[in-house]
Chain A
């Protein structure tokens, strides 16, 4: 099994598999890109409504094609039908959330389930019809690249490539739209029209991905890569790029893995690959990942203990907290019995002086201190300019004797 997967990974498992892998790579990238924009507009789950709304159109197209030629499986026709009903679903969601007092969440849920229900009814109609190709329809639900024809793979790959190009071209206007609609308007980018373009691209990505991941799971490919990318960066450009890369990688891994065995569902594997990448990012991303945050928190706690311990030393107070004692001892500020070392006494004097400077700064310049928002753990010389520190030193009130 491993050899089969390796063969697929290196594009050497047959012409069809190569095509499909390439197509899903492109699809994953396109889905990641369009998904990032949708995420930035905070409408992530509208893709769920779009994808579920494709079912009735898909089934209706199947029926029409089957009536015309006996076997309903003609990919271009099916995708057109899917696109049409998905567009209708989108219009319904927009209309419901704009013109009634229902929220967008209710609109999405209603369209999702009702359109899907209509699709299910049509599926049972198909079951009752004496036409061929019905089993292939279930592949559109959970994805099935196994029986894909080369022509179909070409079509999907080509469309994915086209979408990718369109997304790259529209990249800057879409981002502009998200963060600064007024500026976008002055640049001639109309908010509602661009919104419509974005949703149109989302629809196109959904329809193209139907055969690969199936309609239930394509939404995952538009949501998981952008959320994954969110862990790596705060900048929107980088977000879109990382999401594209993650999506491509997920498509690549998922499709190659599912090509190993016909019973492995493609869509599920693509989504799970994306989820694994997500988990890895959640844990290991620098600064925002879980591990990085735990380490940051640990370090912060250490610094607080150290500072508080030194301040206590400076004021000749007894230290009872075992963690503080341990940390001070490790840093060499106190001896094993709790008595301060020379180094510790010097550090305590510095800490005490810093504390007085910070306190006086907060007293003298309250707004600026609040804006600075520091924890007073950072050395004052690193955060304030030298002339300000000079002034603070000069104006520092004499120290009151301790009670």
Chain B
């Protein structure tokens, strides 16, 4: 029990909360066919965080959030610029913007890597769930001991706040979000401000990506945005049910992923741990695969567009 509380509880909670907030937002991304915005934002979180670290010398959350937020804004502006001026399609513009910024991030990371403080390419890419140890959680009573609770890794509180924020956003902006996802023109005619909603959605995606970044790294967070909602999409036609399915799938991926990564090798008799973040995306992918194969609403009604 003590081992579970110390080593597994916090990663489970952090992974679950991250996956819930990402899945919630990911529903709208999948509906709007903007899944790759999540890809772009997740990639540029890295240079943003590295830049803020180099400028402020600290890894404090506000600095990281600001850095990644600024990077996201720069990326979006760059994408718009490239699309308008270059007259290429959105995905190409995205590709140029986020790969260049990511390369800049890698360069900054490697070149300043001599400092070696807590930030290195591997962790930025794969996340660091395994390091979220609750040293004070050595007995069951620690769960309601304020002093022990104060020793919880700060990532947990951060991720909890972000999940709350995301939940609030989805609740408050529900109508504009839903309308804008299906018919932007109609939404505009009703005064639902699709442009503003889109902007806010992207900002929330950036916030959720940054919070999840620490847990699962910048590339695996994409799995959290896309796989559970995509699987849910294939299960039902109704948006509320889709949201519910996506949260279930997200929770399942997170919990199974963390458990399999931490204890799976032990069950096979090997004394090692696997990457929790990687496992989470693998489980999410398996769920998606099952949904693609057996989901009740997986069929396309019309033939695919070219």
Contact = CB atoms under 8 A, between A and B. Distances in A.
Interface in B110-167: 110-111, 113, 121-122, 125-126
A193 interface: no
Interface in B270-305: 270, 272-275, 277-282, 284-285, 288, 292, 295, 297-301, 304
Interface in B187-225: 219-223, 225
Given A110-B285, A227-B88, A275 B230 contact: no
Contact of A121 (B38, B91, B279): B279
Nearest to A98: B304
Contact of A112 (B82, B93, B222): B222
B270 A128 contact: yes
Given A100-B234, A217-B106, A272-B103, A109 B288 contact: no
Contacts of A252: none
Which bracket fits the contact residues of B? 35 or more
A101 B299 CA distance: 6
Contacts of B49: none
B33 interface: yes
Contacts of B86: 227, 230-231, 282, 288
B35 A108 contact: yes
Nearest to A270: B103
A108 B223 CA distance: 11
B39 A112 contact: yes
A110 B103 contact: no
Interface in A286-328: 288-290, 293
A140 to B, nearest CB: 12
A109 B225 contact: yes
Contacts of A223: 92, 95-96, 99
A97 B89 CA distance: 19
Contact of B227 (A113, A226, A264, A278): A113
A97 B304 contact: yes
A105 B88 CA distance: 16
A115 B125 CA distance: 14
A268 interface: yes
A101 B298 contact: yes
A186 B234 CA distance: 38
Contacts of B254: none
Interface stretch (A39-47, A69-77, A351-359, A378-386): A39-47
A138 B121 contact: yes
A141 B273 CA distance: 21
A289 B85 CA distance: 7
A96 B110 CA distance: 37
B72 interface: no
A264 B38 contact: no
Contacts of A163: none
A109 B110 contact: no
A388 B295 CA distance: 67
A326 to B, nearest CB: 29
Contact of B230 (A45, A98, A102, A116): A102
B262 to A, nearest CB: 11
Nearest to A108: B36
A49 B58 CA distance: 34
Contact of A269 (B107, B265, B277, B281): B107
A142 B36 contact: no
B111 A121 contact: no
B99 A114 contact: no
A24 B92 CA distance: 23
Given A44-B89, A124-B273, A263-B111, A106 B30 contact: yes
B274 to A, nearest CB: 5
Contacts of A100: 234, 292, 295, 298-300
A117 B121 contact: no
Interface string A34-59: 00000100111101100010000000
B100 A120 contact: no
A247 interface: no
Contacts of A216: 102, 106, 125, 219
Given A45-B94, A216-B102, A223-B99, A120 B222 contact: no
A375 interface: no
A106 B121 CA distance: 26
Contacts of A274: 100
A216 B277 CA distance: 17
A248 interface: no
Contacts of B38: 109
Given A96-B292, A220-B100, A271-B99, A106 B220 contact: no
A267 B99 CA distance: 11
Task: Pick the most buried of B94, B96, B107, B234: most chain A CB atoms within 10 A of its CB.
Answer: B96
Nearest to B101: A275
B110 A264 contact: yes
B274 A121 contact: yes
Nearest to B127: A120
Nearest to B292: A100
Contacts of A204: none
A265 interface: yes
Contacts of A271: 99-100, 102-103
Given A44-B92, A113-B281, 6 more contacts: A106-B33, A110-B226, A110-B288, A120-B220, A282-B81, A288-B85
16 contacts: A42-B91, A97-B304, A98-B300, A109-B38, A110-B288, A114-B282, A117-B281, A118-B282, A123-B126, A138-B121, A223-B95, A224-B95, A227-B95, A268-B106, A272-B104, A275-B103
Interface of A: 39, 42-45, 47-48, 52, 95-103, 105-106, 108-110, 112-121, 123-125, 127-128, 138, 141-142, 216-217, 219-220, 223-224, 226-227, 230-231, 263-265, 267-269, 271-272, 274-275, 278, 282, 288-290, 293
A-B pairs with the 9 shortest C-beta distances?
Answer: A117-B281, A114-B285, A120-B278, A220-B99, A113-B223, A128-B272, A271-B103, A223-B95, A121-B278
